[in-house]
Amino acid sequence: MQIQIYVSVTVLILIQKSVSKAVSRPSPPASVSIQCDSYGVEVRWKYSDLDQDVQFQVKVIHDYNERNSNITQNLTQSLHLNISSMLFYPAYNRYYVTVTAVRGGEESEPTLSDIFSYNKYATAKIKCYLDFPEVELSPKDGKLHVQFTNPLQLYRNSPALRGLTDNLEYCIETEEGKNKTCETCEMKQNTCEASVVFSEYRGEYCVNLTGKIGQRFFNLRSSCFTGDIRNSVSRPSPPASVSIQCDSYGVEVRWEYPDLDQDVQFQVKVIHDYNERTSNITQNLTQSRRLNISNMLFNPEYNRYYVTVTAVRGGEESEPTLSDIFSYNKYVPAKIKCYLDFPEVELSPKDGKLHVQFTNPLQLYRNSPALRGLTDNLKYFIETEGKNKTSETCEMKQNTCETSIVFSEYRGEYCVNLTGKIGQRFFNLRSSCFTGDIRNYPPVTVYVYPVLGVVLTLLFITGIIMLLVSMCNSEMKKKVHLMFQYFTDFSTQPAEECRTLRVEPEAYSVVKIEQSENTKEQDPFLEMSDDELPSSTKGLGSGELEVKSPYGPNDLVGSEQSNLSDFYDCPHAPGKE
C-alpha cells in the first residue's frame, strides 16, 4: 500500500514539473515564396528546426480593396501548400501570404510573402501570367496556318479562370515585327485557328503569340515552321468599287468583281478607328459580292470605320480594296455620315392645333446595331413653314411620341419638318403636310343638348300646368254643382240647412208724378204709341197715378234666381228717393 502511494506521488510531481516547464517559442519560417501559373498558386517556405511537433499556419490575405481585406487560413505540417482554393476573385484581387510556426500552443512571428496577382493592372510585385498553349503550324492555301487548343477549355478547372465570362483575345506577330493580326476565340470553341500571310517566301516561318482573358495575360509563345508554304495558284485581281450603304437598320458593304467564279471568296475586314492610336479589326469570309457588317460594328454611336475587301483564291490573296470612312457619329471626321430615318408622321387636328404623332424610333429601331447599347432619349425638332421651331423629348419607355403645334393663322394646308437625334446619331429630315381645317368648332351637341333641355323643361311645365288646370276645373265643377244644388233643390234640402230669404212687403206708397218742364226728356215717350210704351209707363202723363210695387211677397226669390251665376244677392226692389 505504501509503494502505491509513493508511485502516485511521484507521477503527480512529474506532471507538475512538465506543466510548470515553459514551452519555448518556435522560430519563424524563412524564405516564403509564391509559385503561380495557369493551374493555380503554391506557397513555399523553409524552416531550420523541423520536428514532428511543429505545424505551420498559412493565411492568405485578399487585398483587392485596401480598406477591406479578407483572410483565409489553413494548417499544415509540410513546407509548401497549394492555396488555389483559398483565392477569391483571382481575376481582380491581389494577395499576400503569412506563414507562422506553431508548437505546443506557442506561435512564432509571421513571415510575409510578396504581393502577387493575376490582374496585370493591379499593383503587385509578383505578376502571375497564364501559359500560352502549344501551337501547331502548317501550310494552307499559300499561308501559314496557326492552330492551338483553346485555353478557355484547357484551363477551365483552374482557379485562375474561376468565374470566367471573357473570351480569349490573342495576337499573332511575325518575326518581321510589322505584320500583327489579332483574333478572338470564344469559350465554346475547342480550338483556335487563324492564317498568317507572309510578304515573301522563305525557308522558315516563325510567329510570336500573346493573348489575354480579361485582365489575365499570357506569356509569350514562339513557334516556327520549316518548309515551303507556297502553292501554284495565281494571285487573284482585287475587288473594285467598294461602297457603303448605311441606314437605321444597319450597314451593308458592296463591291464589284470582274472575274467571278466558284473558287473566289472575299475576305471582308472592318477596321474600327475611333481611337487613332489603336484600331480593332473584325473580319468575315463570303462568296457573295455584298455583306451585312452590322454585327461587326462595335460602339457605333462613337466609332468611325472603313472596310477592306480582299479576293481569295486557292490560298492566294489579292491586294485589299478600301472603302471610304463612315460613321453614325455626326461629330467625327468621316466622308460618309450615316443618318437614321425619321418614322412616318401622322397629322390631325386637335383642340384648334395640329397634332403630330409618330412611332418612337427608340422602339422601332431597338434591335438595330445603330442603336446598340443605347442610353440616350430621343430629342426631336418640329419646324413650321413660318420658321417656328419646337423642341421636344421622347423617352425610351414611350411607344409613341406626340405633341401639338400652334399656327398663327389658319390656312388650307399645314406643313411641318421634323428632325431629331439620339445622342450623337442624327435623323434625316421628314416633311409632312395636313390638308383641311384645324380650327376648333363646337360640336352639334353643344347646341342640341341645351335646346333639348329647354324643350323638355317647357313640356314638363306645360304638363304640370295642364294637370293643375284639369284638377282645378274638376274642383270648380264640383263646387258649382253643389252650389246650384244648394240654391235650387229645395225639396231635398233639409229645413235646417236651407232657409229661404223672405221679404216682408212694405205698405203701398203713392207716387205723385208731375209733368216736367223739360219736354225733351219726354219726347221719346210722347212720340211712342201706347202699344209701344212699356207697361210700366202706360197711363203716365195725365195726372196723378198710383203705382203699385210690381214685387209681390214671393217675387224676389224668382227674380233673383236668374242672377245666381253672378253671386249677386242684393234685392232689386227700388227704394224710396
pLDDT at 545: 43
Higher pLDDT, 372 or 484: 372
Q: Which three cell numbers stand for residue 102?
A: 506553431
Residue of 251, 326, 325, 255 whose CA lies nearest to 292:
251
Q: Amino acid letter at 73?
A: Q
- Pairwise CA distance, residues 113 & 45, whole Å: 9
- Give the chain's mean pLDDT: 78
pLDDT at 81: 92
- Pairwise CA distance, residues 459 & 465, whole Å: 10
Higher pLDDT, 94 or 157: 94
Q: Is the pLDDT of residue 203 over 60?
A: yes
Residue of 528, 347, 534 whose CA lies nearest to 435:
347
168-187, pLDDT tens digit by residue? 999 998 876 667 888 999 98
Beta strands at 116-117 and 126-127: parallel, antiparallel or unpaired: parallel
Q: Is the pLDDT of residue 574 over 80?
A: no
pLDDT at 559: 46
- Pairwise CA distance, residues 23 & 103, whole Å: 8
Q: To the nearest whole percent, how much of the chain has pLDDT over 70? A: 73
Q: Is the pLDDT of residue 539 over 60?
A: no
Average pLDDT on 140-148 reads 86
Higher pLDDT, 560 or 487: 487
Average pLDDT on 197-208 reads 82
pLDDT band at 577 (very low <50, low <70, confident <90, very high): very low
Q: Amino acid letter at 49?
A: D
pLDDT band at 303 (very low <50, low <70, confident <90, very high): confident
pLDDT at 329: 87
pLDDT at 184: 92
Residue of 40, 94, 37 whose CA lies nearest to 65:
94
Edge-to-edge strand ranges of the sheet holding 80-82: 30-37, 40-46, 80-82
C-alpha distances in angstroms, 337 versus 5, 8, 41, 328? 108, 103, 52, 6
Q: Amino acid letter at 330?
A: K
State in Å, rounded, how far the first CA of the chain is from the last one: 182
pLDDT band at 239 (very low <50, low <70, confident <90, very high): very high
Q: Is the pLDDT of residue 199 over 80?
A: no
pLDDT at 506: 61
pLDDT band at 567 (very low <50, low <70, confident <90, very high): very low
Beta strands at 55-65 and 40-46: parallel, antiparallel or unpaired: unpaired
- Pairwise CA distance, residues 159 & 118, whole Å: 11
Higher pLDDT, 375 or 83: 83
Q: Amino acid letter at 290?
A: R
Average pLDDT on 330-342 reads 90
Residue tagged 483565409 (cell numbers) = 72
Q: Is the pLDDT of residue 530 over 60?
A: no
* 35 in Cβ contact with 115 (< 8 Å): no
1-15, pLDDT tens digit by residue? 444 445 454 544 444
Q: Apex CA 300: angle with CA 294 and CA 304, to 5°?
A: 105
Q: Which pTM was predicted?
A: 0.41
Average pLDDT on 438-449 reads 69
Higher pLDDT, 404 or 510: 404
Q: Is the pLDDT of residue 522 over 50?
A: yes
**Residue 456: how many other CB atoms lie within 10 Å:** 10
85-142, pLDDT tens digit by residue? 888 777 778 899 999 999 888 898 999 999 998 888 888 899 999 999 999 998 887 7
Residue tagged 240647412 (cell numbers) = 497
C-alpha distances in angstroms, 261 versus 232, 253, 265, 287, 292? 18, 20, 9, 9, 21
444-470, pLDDT tens digit by residue? 676 778 888 899 999 999 989 988 888
367-388, pLDDT tens digit by residue? 777 777 777 899 999 988 767 7
pLDDT at 491: 54
Average pLDDT on 342-360 reads 89
Q: Is the pLDDT of residue 416 over 50?
A: yes
Q: Is the pLDDT of residue 213 over 50?
A: yes
- Pairwise CA distance, residues 577 & 575, whole Å: 6
pLDDT at 46: 92
Q: Is the pLDDT of residue 557 over 80?
A: no
Q: Which of 114-123, 170-179, 409-418, 490-499 has the lowest mean pLDDT?
A: 490-499
pLDDT at 97: 93
Q: How many residues does the chain have?
A: 577
Average pLDDT on 461-480 reads 83
Q: Is the pLDDT of residue 17 over 50?
A: no
pLDDT at 65: 55
Beta strands at 40-46 and 413-422: parallel, antiparallel or unpaired: unpaired
pLDDT at 505: 65
* 320 in Cβ contact with 281 (< 8 Å): no
